[in-house]
Structure 1
Amino acid sequence: MCADYRTDSTDPATAPGRPCSPGPHSPAEVREAVRHALEGARRSGGREGAGDDIAVGDALLVASELTTNAMLHGGGVTEFEVMLVDREVRLSVSDHSRELPTPAEHADDLGPMRIGGHGWPIICRLARDITIAELHAGGKRITAVVPLSPR
């Protein structure tokens, strides 16, 4: 589920010279966009269509971690997208870097008690599917699919 791989994007929306989106660029703004999308789904399709509280929390955490990683390691968020499809939330975050995410290697004995370095493993644990695509304008897009129903 979380193997590192990337694909070459043929999406014309990623062609060179494409400006950064005016959308959310901070973890708080991204979480708000996800909440807004899920609330819209609840209003139109009932609570079942937008997941239970645990699934919503998972989606918010993955969105926050993707955004934080883009800010800390990718030169900032260039685009964010949230889509709800078939009881799943698809979260895409683009940044300036082509570098692939990797789990942090810790040289001390703190291991899981260490502050920081847990974002990518959290994303890998909570997402059903993850893809990484190179963007023609530079950078990458990471898309994580989080289920809104029990696994």
Structure 2
Amino acid sequence: MDTVSANAAPARTGRSVADARLDARAFLGGLLPPVASEAADTVLLVVSELVTNALRHAGGTWALELTAHPDGIEVAVHDPSPQTPRLRNPDLNGGTGGFGWPLVTRLAYTTAVTPGPSGGKTVSALLPR
């Protein structure tokens, strides 16, 4: 029988995407059984995208929470903006983005946007383990 550690990283704030990636790497490194390299890369990519969105579109304040489930890793980013992510046409020439949210929704089993109690939101994605 496979066992899965049920670790949850408490919500932790940071200053940069690099902070979030370091926290995610540390979390993934502590899981048993270990997460496959490709799955870990996917988690790090989604963490990067969601935190970048919080920095760019939600005023720069964010908190990251990671949870291991038997069949996946949940990435949740809390931010103070009530505005939900939206699909927009990717900007191929101007560098204004539009690629992140479609990427997250394609990589995740499920995504959710939950309003926060103080007006913000939590954007979460359940990713393959």
* C-alpha contact 1:67 1:77 (8 A) present in aligned 2: no
* C-alpha contact 2:14 2:62 (8 A) present in aligned 1: no
CA distance in 1, matches of 2:15, 2:78: 10
Q: Residue 77 of structure 1 aligns to a residue in which SS?
A: coil
Where structure 2 has 5 or more consecutive residues not aligned to the other structure, the ranges are 1-10
**Structure 1 or 2: more strand by fraction:** 2
The 1:34/1:91 distance shift into structure 2, 3 A limit, reads same
* C-alpha contact 1:25 1:79 (8 A) present in aligned 2: no
Q: Give yes or no for the alignment of 1:121 onto 2:105.
A: no
* Deviation, structure 1 residue 99: 0.8
* C-alpha contact 1:90 1:146 (8 A) present in aligned 2: yes
The 1:22/1:86 distance shift into structure 2, 3 A limit, reads closer
Q: Give yes or no for the alignment of 1:94 onto 2:78.
A: yes
Q: Give yes or no for the alignment of 1:27 onto 2:8.
A: no
Which structure has more RCO (C-alpha within 8 Å, separation ≥ 6)? 1
* Deviation, structure 1 residue 50: 3.0
Large movers: runs of 4+ above 3 Å: none
Aligned twin of 1:69: 53
Number of residue pairs matched by the alignment:
118
The 1:140/1:114 distance shift into structure 2, 3 A limit, reads same
Q: How does the TM-score come out when normalised to structure 2?
A: 0.81
* C-alpha contact 2:62 2:78 (8 A) present in aligned 1: yes
Q: Which has the larger radius of gyration?
A: 1
Q: Percent identity?
A: 33
* Deviation, structure 1 residue 22: 5.3
Q: Give yes or no for the alignment of 1:59 onto 2:59.
A: no
Alignment of 1:123-138 (within 5 A): 123-138=104-119
Q: Which amino acid aligns with 1:59?
A: V
Q: How does the TM-score come out when normalised to structure 1?
A: 0.70
Q: Which amino acid aligns with 1:38?
A: L
Alignment deviations for residues 73-118 of structure 1 (CA, whole Å, 9 cap, x no partner): 1112332111111141111101111111112235x7x4xx663221
Q: Residue 62 of structure 2 aligns to a residue in which SS?
A: strand
